Amino acid sequence: MRPFTYVRAHEVGTALAEAEADSRADFLAGGTTQLDLMKDGVLRPDRLIDITRLPLHGIEERQGALIVGALVTMEELAADPVAGRRLPLVREALLRSASVQLRNMATIGGNLLQRTRCRYFRDPTVAACNKRDRGSGCAAVHGSHRTHAVLGTSEHCIATHASDVAVTLVALDAVVHISGAAGDRKVPLTGFYRTPGDTPDVENDLRPGELIAAVEIPLLPEGARSDYLKVRDRSSYEFALASAAVAVGLGADRRIEWARVGLGGVATVPWRAVEAEAVLTGSPADGEVFASAAAAAVAGAEPRPQNAFKVDLAQRTLVRTLQTVTGAGS
Amino acid sequence: MTLQAKPHAEESLPQTEFTLRVNGRDHPLRTDARLTLLDALHDRLGLTGTKKGCDQGTCGACTVHVDGRRVLSCLTLAAQCDEREIATVEGLGTEDELHPVQRAFLEHDAFQCGYCTPGQIMSALGLMAEGRAGSPDEIREYMSGNICRCGAYQNIVAAIRDVAGTEDGGRADDVPQAEGGRP
C-alpha cells in the first residue's frame, strides 16, 4: 500500500471541502473495497478522508419511502423493521451478500460504489484493463471470463457489477441523494450507473469530490409480492452467477398488474430488465408468460465462450423467481 | 553547513495519532496511517491471538469486535478505531478459566491446526449475540465468513450448538460477554 495522509471529517461540509482541495483524495467508509484495492495497488490515493463519523447513519420512513443514510451498514438495513416488512427483497439481497463481518463494515453508499471482482482489474501486474487504464485493452475478453457479464458489455470491458442489493434497488426505482461542494442533487439509480462503452473507467454519474448522502427507496405497496433469488457456485459467502429481483402486483384474476425486474451477476451494471416488465405487465401469471419475459430480458445478451451458460441461467433464475412470487407456472 | 540527521524513514511517512481501546485498556499510538487494526493488535500491542490469514477480507481469521460488532481487522484502518471499543480473543477467558466458547471448542475438537480458531471464536460470540445460533443450518450460514482449511466445520457447529443451546434460538443473554464491549 502506498503511503497516504489520513484525515477524519465530522461534518459533510468539511468532508466535501477536504475532497475539493485534493483531487487525489478518496473517501473512506466501510473500507471493504477501498482498503482491499489499496493493498493490491489498484487504488493509490494520497489522502483518505474518513467519513464514518458523518451524521449519515439514520434510517427514516418518509412519504412512502425509506431514506437510508449512506453510512447505514448492510447489517443495519437488513435488521430494519420497515425494510423487513415493506422491502423484503432488499433484506433478502443484503443477507445473501458477503459475510456478517463484511456486512457489519460495508455501508449502503459504499455498496453502490463497489468495484468489480474481475480478476484482471484487481491485478495491476496485468497490463490490459481499460477500467484501470483507459486504452490498455481488456484481458478478460480473450481470457478467463466465466464469471463475467453478458448484458451491457462492450469490446472494451465485460466486468460484472457485483452488488446484490443494488439489483433490488434499480428494480424499486431507488433514488441516490448526492452532496457536493457545488450543491446537492438527486439521481435515479437506473440513471446513475454507466455501462462501459469505450470508457469503462467511468462507472457512474458521481462527479469528482461528490459524496452519496442517502438512498431513497420507495416502499412496495401493501400486497405486493417480491423476492430476490441468488444463484452461485456455493450456497453462502459467494458472488452471484445470476440473480433476479422481482416485485409484482397480482390482480384478483391472477393477471400481473405491474412488474419490476432486476438482474444481477450477468451485467456490467445492476440491470433493470424493462423488456421483461413490458411482457409481464397485463399478462396472466403463467409459465408461458414467464418464459417470454425471461427471453426478452436476455434478448440483447452478448455471451462469450466461458459465460454463455449465463444466458440460460439468468432466464431460469428469473422464471423461478416469478414462479415463487406468483405461486404460478411451476 | 551543518549536517542534520535524516529523519527515520518511518517518521518521514504521514503519521497519525489516536488511541486504541482494546479489551478495556487504552493504548495511545502514533503510527504510519497505513497501519491496519490487525497489524496494530498483532505487531504493536503484542496481542497475537488475532491472526492474519489472507489479509484481504476473505478468510475471517482476523475477526474482532468493534463496538460490539464482529468485523475484519485486516480491512479496518487502526486510525478509524479511535475511541471505539475493541474486543479480541485475549479479552475472553484465562488459562485457568476458559470462556465457555473456548472450552466448547476444546471439548468438541473444533480445530486441528488452530490458526483460524480465534477468529472462529470471536465470530461465534457475535453469532450468538445476534441470535443466529438456532439451528445447524443457521450457524453454517452466519459463520460462513470464517474459513477453516483443516475442515473442522462439523465440530465447530457442534461446539457452538453446545454453548448456545437450541431452546432459546441461540440468544446469548446468558453467555458471558467479552471484556470491553458487547460481543
Chain A neighbors of B72, CB-CB under 8 A: 32, 101-102, 105
Burial of residue A162 (CB within 10 Å: 0-12, 13-18, 19+) is buried
Q: Minimal Cα distance from B10: which residue of A?
A: A3
How many Cβ atoms sit within 10 Å of the Cβ of residue B98?
15
Q: With an 8 Å Cβ cutoff, are A4 and B130 in contact?
A: no
Mutate to test the interface with B, among A27, A94, A99 (most CBs of B within 10 A): A99
pLDDT of amino acid B3: 55
Q: Which residues of chain B have a CB within 8 Å of the CB of A98?
A: 145
Q: Can you name the CATH fold of A225-326?
A: Enolase-like; domain 1 (3.30.390)
Q: How far lies B163's CA from each of A185, B38, B107, B156, in Å? A: 51, 27, 11, 11
Residues 145-204 in A contacting B (C-alpha not used; CB under 8 Å) = none
Give the CA diameter of chain B. 79
**Complex confidence, ipTM:** 0.96
Q: What is the predicted pLDDT for the residue at B11?
A: 57
Q: Which amino acid is at A162?
A: A
Query: Cβ neighbours of residue A182 under 8 Å, at least 6 residues apart?
Result: none
- In chain A, whose CA is at the least distance from the CA of B71? A101
CB contact under 8 A, A36 and B77: no
Map out the domains of chain B as residue ranges: 13-91, 100-164
Which pLDDT value is given to residue B33?
96
What is the model's pLDDT at position B12?
Answer: 76
Question: Which band of pLDDT confidence, cut at 50, 70 and 90, is reported for residue A258?
Answer: very high
Distance from CA of A137 to the nearest CA of B (A): 26
Place of cell 430476490: A228
Average pLDDT over residues A250-271: 97
Q: Which of B56, B126, B144 is closest, CB to CB, to A236?
A: B144
- Give the strand pairing for B85-87 and B15-22: parallel
* Domain B100-164 class in CATH: mainly alpha
Minimum-distance CB partner of B142 among A1, A48, A100:
A100
CB contact under 8 A, B13 and A99: no
- pLDDT tens profile A91-117: 999 999 999 999 999 999 999 999 999
Burial A203-222 (b: 16+ CB within 10 A, else e): bbbbeebbbbbbbbbbbbee
- Give the mean model confidence (pLDDT) for residues B91-109: 95
**pLDDT 10s digits, A200-218:** 999 999 999 999 999 999 9
Crossing angle of helices A287-297 and A309-326, rounded to 10°: 140
pLDDT at A328: 84
Q: Which chain A residues touch B33 with a CB distance below 8 Å?
A: 3-6, 48
Q: What's the CA dihedral at B152, B158, B159, B164 to 10 degrees?
A: 140
User: Among all residues of chain A, which has the CA nearest to that of B84?
Assistant: A53
Give pLDDT tens digits for A268-282.
999 999 999 999 999
Residue A236: which of B33, B80, B141 has the nearest Cβ?
Answer: B141
- pLDDT above 80 for B6: no
> CA-to-CA distance for A58 and A60, rounded, in angstroms?
6
Average pLDDT along chain A: 97
Identical topology for domains B13-91 and B100-164: no
Q: What is the pLDDT of residue B181?
A: 40
For the segment A282-299, the average pLDDT, to the nearest whole number, is 98
The CATH code of domain B13-91 reads 3.10.20.30
Q: Does A94 touch chain B (CB under 8 A)?
A: no
Among the listed ranges A30-39, A149-158, B162-171, which one has the minimum average pLDDT value? B162-171
From B42, B19, B26, B77, select the one nearest B180 (Cα to Cα).
Answer: B26
Least confident of A56-65, B6-15, B60-69, B151-160: B6-15
CB-nearest partner of B79 from A3, A6, A75: A6
By the CB < 8 Å criterion, does B98 face chain A?
no
pLDDT of residue B176: 46
Across the interface, do B77 and A28 touch by the CB < 8 Å criterion? yes
pLDDT of residue B5 exceeding 70, the answer is no
**Cα three-residue angle A6-A7-A9, rounded to 5 degrees:** 150
Give residue limits of the domains in chain A: 5-49, 225-326
Res. B7: pLDDT tops 50: no
Say if residue B167's pLDDT is above 80.
Answer: no
- Nearest CA-CA distance, residue B33 and chain A, Å: 6
Nearest residue in chain B measured CA to CA from A39: B56
Inform me whether the pLDDT recorded for A240 exceeds 70.
yes
Establish if B77 touches chain A: CB-CB under 8 angstroms: yes
- Contact list, B146 vs chain A (CB under 8 Å): 99
Q: How far apart are the first and last CA of chain B?
A: 59
